Structure 1
Amino acid sequence: MTEFIPPGSRFHPLPSPFSFKRGGALHGGRVAYETWGQLNTQADNAVLIVTGLSPDAHAASNADNPAPGWWEAMVGPGRPVDTDRWFVICVNSLGSCKGSTGPASINPATGEPYRLTFPELSVEDGARAAIEVVRALGIARLACVLGNSMGGMTALALLMLEPGIARSHINISGSAQALPFSIAIRSLQREAIRLDPQWNGGAYDDAHYPESGMRMARKLGVITYRSALEWDGRFGRVRLDSDQVDDDPFGLEFQVESYLEGHARRFVRFFDPNCYLYLSRSMDWFDLAEYADGDVLAGLSRIKVEKALAIGANTDILFPVQQQQQIADGLRAGGAEAAFIGLDSPQGHDAFLVDFQRFGPAVSNFLAAL
């Protein structure tokens, strides 16, 4: 059980107890976050970034941590999220292992990691934790809340739970509810982890760690994060060199297999398996239709912002672009000036992390017009 906290992280203590949507509560919980830029005297130039499942709060380099962040090309002086103009906050998701309290954190009541005693986590719980950070920083109203992937869900939950908290919203490759395909994929990922004998009902340690389950979960995830178009263009049917092939008759043979293996091995020891399970399941449970008698568009229409932009990649199979179109349509029905942009990026769901030539201008133009 390990937490992976970036240097320079700041921490906001949550109210104690901090109650969860599905029951249970945290005592002594916290949220990790980082900031860039300066909050102006009116405190009206703040942009909140809420992230996908695995990123930490270190979206970009700053004085406290000069290492490049996971969204380095998008956040900073003169970049699409321009820190010369905006005061930018990025929070690490509640339930993560990157500084915010999660299953890998120590339960102060027992002195042991929470593991599976952590309360059942929902996207709404993460949204409420992010709201606590915003309020603690003295911000009554955000200029914009920006959510990527799972963060797109968190942003919508935040806007639903705290009406008026933001003037505008950018939803990137997010959704208002989990679709069956996405639920099925995440279910298989969780099953791979839970069926690893080393998982041991969540009671693993560094010496007895469900590495195989995490490897398989990550490989399956990476396959869905990118597109068949990209896989074909990057790897084709190219085989490994003879000195790279091991003696296993069913071992790695193609370059795409080697890529997935390397990617998985870099990930498995840097994200806690129980945290992965909790965050993954929270996405499956999320559904704005719950707030409008089963009608997701009606749920979206209850969110009130002045302007909104929903962006997606046309090759995304995990959060397909019809979900971003749905977000724009629903927010527009609620009175927002809302637009949708489907980008012809070959990188699939992960395009927002790599295709800055397409995603950068869309974000920059929207924020410039605020």
Structure 2
Amino acid sequence: MGDARQYFDLPSPFPMKRGGVLHGARVAYETWGELNAARDNAILIFTGLSPSAHAASNAEDPSAGWWEDMLGPGRYIDTRRWFVICVNTLGSCKGSTGAASINPATGEPYRLEFPELTLEDAANAGHALVKGLGIERLACLLGNSMGGMTALAYLALHPGSARSHISISTAPQAQPFAIAIRSLQREAIRLDPNWNNGHYTEEQYPEAGMSIARKLGVITYRSAMEWVGRFARIRLESDQRDEEPFGAEFQIESYLVGHARRFVRNFDPNSYLYLSRASDWFDVGEYGDGSVAQGLSRIALQRALVIGVETDILFPLSQQEEIATGLRAGGAEVEFVALDSPQGHDAFLVDITRFGAAIAHFLARL
């Protein structure tokens, strides 16, 4: 299997919002479709916390991407018309420079020597990539979950850099519930003795901490309604149970174990801590004298689509309404779509038919 991943070298030194600079940093990205002669058909996608830039299969890498059914030739985001770029967030461990990368000053991984990371830094890295590809103005900037916050930072920091915006299940600032959950996830990792202040190894790895962090995440990414529908109170067969005291008894427990197992060794714990905290710090109100409404109203767009889900407890529908109202106040023509998908926050990854229909309808009118 080939690798479709490409790398863009960020300007060096690359200044970080909260101080410090990166030398020799880069971001990983993938593209689909062709940039047209006018260079005005580009769509940039910012992802949630854990995905890589591999949003969909392409000629170089035929493996399914995290948003496989959403983009491609003839799909909802039709790559026969659009040139789509998906960037791996600065600070991640999926190809972009982050805490797991080698610090050129020491020849060792950065670990906790990596500068404090904000979503503004990720936005600026994405903007540098777009400029580096020779694109003056994006046709559309799309962000979901954490990526939606990064997209708002991009629009606030770089006025006029996009004609339109698609905001999916995100937030103009982190709410107390989301902060509380993420702080518990970080605490689980930090309290794992193997975390060792960021100095873990493959042999001494914070497996338990990462596992609890992922389970907590999965619980909040879906809805109680979905858990009832899928698992009810179904118990595990006796041969599926482990014999230890207080071991797993219910199917929901083994489901979470499976999810955690697939995630734990596939994501760097320090990168997780950095990105999680960056999400808590984000507040679009910083661009509006402390007011979210004012921060959003300063974002100038022609059109925007804001999609939220009624069962999302992590990024509730009220926050999507807040984004729609704020962008409207800035003069954008805003379409607001509230879906009743039972899958909660993760619906944008699962309920492709309904999300896709709204996105395709919006893009058709650009």
Please indicate the TM-score interval, normalised by the length of the shorter structure.
over 0.9
CA distance in 1 between partners of 2:47 and 2:131 (Å)? 19
Aligned partner of residue 323 in structure 2, secondary structure: helix
The answer for the alignment partner of 2:126 in structure 1 is 130
| 2:128 counterpart of 1:121 | no
Residue 301 of structure 1: aligned partner? 297
TM-score norm. by structure 1 comes to: 0.98
Q: Which residue of 1 aligns with 2:361?
A: 365
Aligned identity (percent) is 71
Letter in 1 for 2:109: P
Counterpart position of 1:313: 309
Q: In the aligned structure 1, how far is the partner of 2:77 from the partner of 2:160?
A: 22
2:46 equivalent to 1:50: yes
Amino acid in structure 2 at the alignment position of 1:219:
K
Q: Secondary structure of the residue that 1:264 maps to in structure 2?
A: helix
The partner residue of 2:343 within 342, 347, 359 is 347
Task: For 1:80-159, list aligned pairs within 5 A.
Answer: 80-159=76-155
What CA deviation, in whole Å up to 9, does each residue of 1:45-67 have, x standing for no partner?
00000000000000000111110
2:233, 2:245 → 1: CA distance? 18
1:335 to partner: Cα distance: 0.2
Q: Deviations over 1:54-100 (max 9, x none)?
A: 00000000111110100001010111111010000000000000000
- Would you say 1:254 and 2:250 are equivalent positions? yes
C-alpha displacement of 1:117: 0.3
* Partner of residue 17 from structure 2, selected from 18, 21, 24: 21
Secondary structure of the 2:334 match is: strand
**Distance between the aligned counterparts of 1:83 and 1:137, measured in 2?**
17
| SS of the residue 1:271 aligns to | coil
For residues 74 and 278 of structure 2, the distance between their equivalents in structure 1, rounded to whole angstroms, comes to 35
What amino acid does structure 1 have at the position aligned with 2:340? D
Q: Matched residues in 2 for 1:288 and 1:262: separation? A: 36
1:23 maps to a residue whose letter is G
Counterpart AA for 2:269: P
**What residue identity is the alignment partner of 1:63?**
A
How many residue pairs were aligned? 365
* Pair 1:334 & 2:340 matched: no
Q: Which of residues 230, 238, 241 is equivalent to 1:242?
A: 238
Distance across 2 between alignment mates of 1:50 and 1:308: 16
User: Residues of 1 paired with 2:208 and 2:242: CA distance?
Assistant: 18
1:185 equivalent to 2:181? Answer yes
Q: Secondary structure at the match of 1:96?
A: coil
Name the CA distance, whole Å, in 2 between partners of 1:17 and 1:233.
Answer: 51
State the partner residue of 1:202.
198
Whole-angstrom distance in 2 between the partners of 1:236 and 1:147: 33
Structure 1 residues 60-75: aligned runs within 5 Å: 60-75=56-71
Q: How many Å separate the matches in 1 of 2:171 and 2:126?
A: 18
Q: Deviation per CA, 1:231-251: give whole Å up to 9, x if none.
A: 000000000011101111200
Q: Deviations over 1:165-197 (max 9, x none)?
A: 100000000111000000000000000000000
4+ runs deviating over 4 angstroms: none
Q: What is the CA-CA distance between 1:8 and the residue it aligns to?
A: 2.1
1:3: which partner in 2?
A: none
Q: Which secondary structure state, in structure 2, belongs to the residue aligned with residue 112 of structure 1?
A: coil
How far did 1:357 drift?
Answer: 1.7
One-letter amino acid of the counterpart of residue 71, structure 2:
V
* 3-state SS of 1:325 partner: helix
Partners of 2:288 and 2:147 in 1: how far apart?
21
Give the superposition deviation at 1:358.
Answer: 1.3
Per the TM alignment, residue 339 of structure 1 is displaced from its structure 2 partner at its CA by 1.8
1:79 aligns with 2:79: no
In structure 1, distance between residues paired with 2:163 and 2:289: 26
CA distance in 2, matches of 1:223, 1:74: 24
Q: 1:212 — aligned with what?
A: 208
2:170 to 168, 174, 177: 174
1:148 Cα deviation from its structure 2 partner: 0.6
Q: In the aligned structure 2, how far is the partner of 1:356 from the partner of 1:288?
A: 28
Q: What amino acid does structure 2 have at the position aligned with 1:185?
A: I
Distance 2:4 2:101 in 1: 18
Q: Does 1:12 align with 2:8?
A: yes
1:291 CA displacement: 1.4
How far off its partner does 1:219 sit? Answer: 0.2
Q: 2:36 aligns with which of 34, 37, 40?
A: 40
The CA distance in 2 between the partners of 1:245 and 1:278, in whole Å, is 35
3-state SS, counterpart of residue 89 of structure 1 = strand
Code of the aligned partner of 2:59? A
Residues 196-234 of structure 1, C-alpha deviations (whole Å, 9 max, x = no match): 000000000100000000000000000000000000000
- Aligned Cα RMSD in Å? 0.7
Question: 1:275 and 1:315 mapped to 2: Cα distance?
Answer: 28
